Structure 1
């Protein structure tokens, strides 16, 4: 999976390649779900290095295998994420001095630049997961880390807002947005970036014991969550209107699935906010029913998943750009829905069904549903390997 990345020259690089790094980071999160929901962690709301060590010493064979598998998955895909992130940032720096960049800034595709802050926001999440998974004693200093994490996400949010300012300022004042060529859901990239920033900003609300930190977390995450909902609502309507008139653009058809990861990040944001509201501002204050919310969001994901599958299948997208030899950076948009559904199923089972007593933890029914998440995870891993080999592999792979 690790390549020298020399097969994509500067002229072939586009911001959508950031999604390659994003997908790898998402897979590291999917392996952390094993620790999150299968290990006891009574001392903290999230599993720590000490909890995993205790499970290795005292747990059964399956638990030990789960810990070792989670450690390997988190480490491997975090390393791949960093590898691809550094490569993309270098290419992006060179891309900014090319005519193609200035052409991009005056087209519908300007919003694809939001893939940058989207991926960097994921990097902060990956860094936190690496700390929880491999750093002993992290929880003793975590209250000092939360303000730093909030600051980091705010800086990424400022980058995203600056890009949105330029885009919306240009098209709302001077016009020029080509509605005919908007026959996809690629314009949801800003909503995805906003949702990723929101879920990161909401983390201290669920984990911090400091009321001031929780308050800042709630306010900041709410801003970006609302921004994601507003942009998402506008662009879904505009995108579907253009697709109904022109038909979906075959090269950007995977954008139909971008709604899936957006809904996963927003649902986790709401769960984290609810935990903070219940813990610091009296039980039930502004909360949502976790099971109902997760159920509605999961059903919405399935609707968009089925719709996207119909379009992608009729265009023969998978045989062309996944198992075939044609290359499109947009194919990496297929990774995010796989990761998002994997994580969503874990949350629906554990925070939803188990949390509300509808399902017994580690029962036969529990594992029957969990297999769905594991299969999705396996398919997504295969997809990442396949796409990386197609785009970056060959004779000059490392």
Structure 2
């Protein structure tokens, strides 16, 4: 195959292609939401293989179809996630041997590397979902797995902080941060990575019955939640100052919606820590208060999603980067995460907010009316992933490729 006939992703790989694997992992989570909220799971906070099997056996055609669809979606997108993760790790190893890797560490685009720990943390979460739904008897040994999971997430967190330390160490000691090129929210990628570590570390707090495991989970998750929030606040401020002066870099416009997945991940981490406080430390959150907090999270997400879509429409992003004739941009995969995250947040808002507070009856007309946008977003993101995969991983007769800096 000649260089000209290679897929765009092969011709101009960048660390932003880790977002392709991340998006597939996120879609895995959207299918798990079906089982999480529609399959009864007495005895534990999440559905496991035995719950799913019992429900499938007793359910009617619609219930059986839902379970089959959920399990198929989880399996397909988990496989795609793993495939893309392995491919990206191989490309990263090649990239590290190039001069471009050294140059990357001298520019704002160094933040692209935070996509590596972000996707690795997602991989651990995907692995946990696969274990829950496909491995019989997992819950009987889950208390032994929680410490191992926390070790894995801490290792990924340390890796993320090492990358972050190199970046901040360079720009704070030597300078060189290009504020003129900081015309997007790409520098919030480290906050996204740390928030993904936080949500993973928060899982044992919600699921474990061992006090020391819950306490460790609460402490570690809180640390990473605070770190993610602090970095997001600082980088958001710096980016807005540059953007109002110089406008938004067209190829990086999707990053304007990066706060949507950050809020979803931190929101779930908050809910997990709240559940741990409730079950272990007897600190109780009222259903109405949870509903209002989730509503505020959702409002923040809708506002930033609207901002991103507005700027993208004004700049003609779809024509320039999503059409067959347009330029290929690895940053286009950043469009998947906001849609996936908003879908997941809507599921939590409906079930842990509206239903839990008694505002809406479970599985009634209003319930499905509020759930419909979550399902529509999921379908839209599946279509987007398929479209992006054709653009970036198919071998076109003539490829027009762009390497996009996260600046």
TM-score, length of structure 2 as denominator length: 0.94
Matched, 1:315 2:315: yes
1:178 aligned residue: 178
Residues 311-390 of structure 1: pairs in structure 2 closer than 5 A? 311-325=311-325, 326-390=327-391
- Quote the offset at 1:356 in angstroms: 1.1
Provide the rounded CA distance (Å) in 1 between the counterparts of 2:14 and 2:396. 23
Provide the rounded CA distance (Å) in 2 between the counterparts of 1:339 and 1:96. 31
Provide the rounded CA distance (Å) in 1 between the counterparts of 2:364 and 2:70. 21
Structure 1 portions without partners, runs of 5+? none
1:281 aligned residue: 281
- Quote the offset at 1:323 in angstroms: 3.1
Provide the rounded CA distance (Å) in 1 between the counterparts of 2:234 and 2:33. 32
**Cα shift readout 1:245-302 (whole Å, capped 9, x = no counterpart):** 0010001111001010000000000000000001111133899932111100100000
Matched, 1:147 2:150: no
Q: Are the counterparts in 2 of residues 206 and 275 from structure 1 also a CA contact under 8 Å?
A: yes
SS of the aligned residue for 2:328 comes to coil
Provide the rounded CA distance (Å) in 1 between the counterparts of 2:351 and 2:136. 26
Provide the rounded CA distance (Å) in 2 between the counterparts of 1:285 and 1:32. 25
Q: Are the counterparts in 2 of residues 198 and 224 from structure 1 also a CA contact under 8 Å?
A: yes
- Change in CA separation of 1:279 and 1:134 when aligned onto 2, cut-off 3 Å: same
Q: Are the counterparts in 1 of residues 350 and 367 from structure 2 also a CA contact under 8 Å?
A: yes
1:85 aligned residue: 85
**Cα shift readout 1:97-125 (whole Å, capped 9, x = no counterpart):** 11111111010111110000000000000
CA RMSD of aligned residues (A): 1.7
Matched, 1:107 2:140: no
Residues 10-89 of structure 1: pairs in structure 2 closer than 5 A? 12-89=12-89
Q: Are the counterparts in 2 of residues 10 and 94 from structure 1 also a CA contact under 8 Å?
A: no
Provide the rounded CA distance (Å) in 1 between the counterparts of 2:302 and 2:62. 31
1:299 aligned residue: 299
- Quote the offset at 1:394 in angstroms: 3.5
- Change in CA separation of 1:131 and 1:212 when aligned onto 2, cut-off 3 Å: same
Residues 191-270 of structure 1: pairs in structure 2 closer than 5 A? 191-270=191-270
TM-score, length of structure 1 as denominator length: 0.96
Structure 2 portions without partners, runs of 5+? 398-407
Q: Say how many residue pairs are matched.
A: 392
SS of the aligned residue for 1:265 comes to helix
Provide the rounded CA distance (Å) in 2 between the counterparts of 1:62 and 1:372. 20
Matched, 1:121 2:104: no
Provide the rounded CA distance (Å) in 1 between the counterparts of 2:303 and 2:286. 28
**Cα shift readout 1:125-177 (whole Å, capped 9, x = no counterpart):** 00000000111110000000000000000000010000011000110111110
Provide the rounded CA distance (Å) in 2 between the counterparts of 1:287 and 1:373. 21
Q: Which moved more, 1:20-29 or 1:52-61?
A: 52-61
Provide the rounded CA distance (Å) in 1 between the counterparts of 2:345 and 2:43. 24
- Quote the offset at 1:51 in angstroms: 1.0
